[in-house]
Structure 1
Amino acid sequence: MELNVTGKKALVTGGTRGVGRGIVLALARAGMDVLTCYRQESEHVESLERELKEIGGRHRLFQVDLADPDGPAALLAEAERLYGRLDLVVNNAGTITHVPYGELPLSDWNKIIATNLTAAHLVVQHALPLLTEDASVISVGSKSSEVGIPLRSHYTATKAALRGLSRSLAKEFGHKGWRFNVLALGVIETEALHELPEERRKAMLERYEPKTALGRLGTPDEVAGAVLWLASDLSRYVTGSVVHVDGGIS
């Protein structure tokens, strides 16, 4: 069996930076047409547009706020206009804050829930009429939802909820051939890490690299490899699963 994803249509939320960007570029290079979204204009949007143009294909960057209840509907309307169908949906968009639980304001709680969980739910719900036979839906989760991390209770709660959502949807829609899986990521080295002051970046590496079995952080390309596998026929009997892309972190 081969990947066999050429010509497939994909939606990746939050695809202009970090892990999302790596996924978008990998899918495009594999021959898929990709729609992704962003909330604010930035150099990252412009540079991704240039890279996708160089790769070739029918790609689109769409500005939308997924935390707005109307945002996911607008995004999926664009997917329908552009492609008329979706073979792959990747819920990658997310946000995080670091707040002691006793001081966590309701506004922060609601923001994280709206972006990380409610938006994912609405994206999938609005995508249902567009999903093709054997479509794959992937939610980007986190190893932290298993182990817990101080100051991130609201974030880890949303990532744990994505697991329950995906497992339930896998059973509800399995008869259609649709597959729902979660990627549990470890610490991934993105531009956000490189933008930190040198001393803080070094401290992050010294803290997390020894915790992994491989002795290093992951890369967006390595996450994208798992997405490509779940998008392809190579994983057609995998659903309701949590796939760990964490370098064996503990």
Structure 2
Amino acid sequence: MLVTGGSRGIGRGIVLAAARAGANVVTCYRQEGEAVESLKAALKETGGDHHVLRADASDEADVGRLIATCEGLPGGLDAVVNSAGAFEPTSYDKLDPTQWAATLQANLTATHLVTQRALPLLGEGSSVINIGSTVAFIGMAGGAHYTAVKTALVGLTRSLARELGPKGIRFNTVSPGRIETEAMVALPAPAAEQQRKLFSSFTALGRLGTVDEVAQVVLFLISDLATYITGQNIHVDGCV
């Protein structure tokens, strides 16, 4: 299994959940740090053949190294989760071409590069999950560029599901809402509590989601329990 952007947030949750479920996982990160070291330590405790590489999913050469590592996985590659991405909030009137292009490259082009390079390794029964966002459905002030690429991701997923369905490869999007990650935990306590209260008020369940709740949906979609689910956009958002 390949999971991009696996050292933090939702990607990290997917990596750990998959490893604990018995998958051999290849994942990547862009910057060294404590998060990477703690992920490596946690993976060692699960057993299995895991690889944590420094690689940028939006860089063709780095993607080549990731796929080469996947070729050596015991049992081959049967699932890809495109979780890597980047976003810097900016009002639309101040959004310049460089930032627009960077957002496109980090989120949509990265997914394309990884998926296309992984295809020769994927056989019948394989699954590709693209991590989207509920902003594609509800919009986002200060995030028109991010909303645009996440919306495009849904269309890409749907098209690939149709094109590669005859080969038995499934494609789905998982679109989280507001999820409590380590980034929120790292905020000063008053600020974190303010955000929890605000964003929880938008959901029917009255709380934020957890990374594990997203991860479990991903694991379901790549499992044999979901063999007739493809081309879908599954919202994990507590009903916003």
TM above 0.5, yes or no, is: yes
Secondary structure of residue in 2 paired with 1:98: coil
Match of 2:100 among 99, 109, 124: 109
Match of 2:69 among 66, 69, 78: 78
Partner of 2:166: 175
What does the per-residue CA deviation read over 1:27-46, in whole Å, with 9 as the maximum and x for residues that have no partner?
01111100000011111111
Partner of 2:188: 197
Partner of 1:3: none
1:231 aligns with 2:231: no
AA aligned opposite 2:92? Y
Match of 1:222 among 213, 235, 240: 213
Partner of 1:185: 176
Q: Distance between the aligned counterparts of 1:228 and 1:76, measured in 2?
A: 21
Q: Distance between the aligned counterparts of 1:83 and 1:125, measured in 2?
A: 21
CA RMSD of aligned residues (A): 1.1
Q: Percent identity between the aligned chains? A: 52
1:31 aligns with 2:25: no
* 1:73/1:122 contact within 8 Å kept: no
AA aligned opposite 1:238? I
TM-score of the pair, normalised by structure 2: 0.97
Q: Distance between the aligned counterparts of 2:58 and 2:160, measured in 1?
A: 22
For structure 1, the residue ranges without an aligned partner over 5 or more in a row are: 1-9
AA aligned opposite 1:79? C
* Structure 1 range deviating more: 214-223 or 190-199: 190-199
Match of 2:116 among 119, 125, 146: 125
Secondary structure of residue in 1 paired with 2:79: strand
Partner of 1:62: 53
* 2:130/2:173 contact within 8 Å kept: yes
TM-score of the pair, normalised by structure 1: 0.93
Match of 1:98 among 85, 89, 99: 89
AA aligned opposite 2:239? G
* 2:89/2:142 contact within 8 Å kept: yes
What does the per-residue CA deviation read over 1:178-224, in whole Å, with 9 as the maximum and x for residues that have no partner?
00000011000000001112232122112110111111000010001
* 1:85/1:132 contact within 8 Å kept: no
AA aligned opposite 1:77? A
Partner of 2:201: 210
How many residue pairs align between the two structures?
240
Q: Distance between the aligned counterparts of 1:41 and 1:83, measured in 2?
A: 27
Q: Distance between the aligned counterparts of 1:107 and 1:82, measured in 2?
A: 37
Q: Distance between the aligned counterparts of 1:76 and 1:38, measured in 2?
A: 14
AA aligned opposite 1:230? L
Partner of 2:150: 159
Secondary structure of residue in 2 paired with 1:107: helix
AA aligned opposite 2:193? K
* 2:173/2:232 contact within 8 Å kept: yes
For structure 2, the residue ranges without an aligned partner over 5 or more in a row are: none
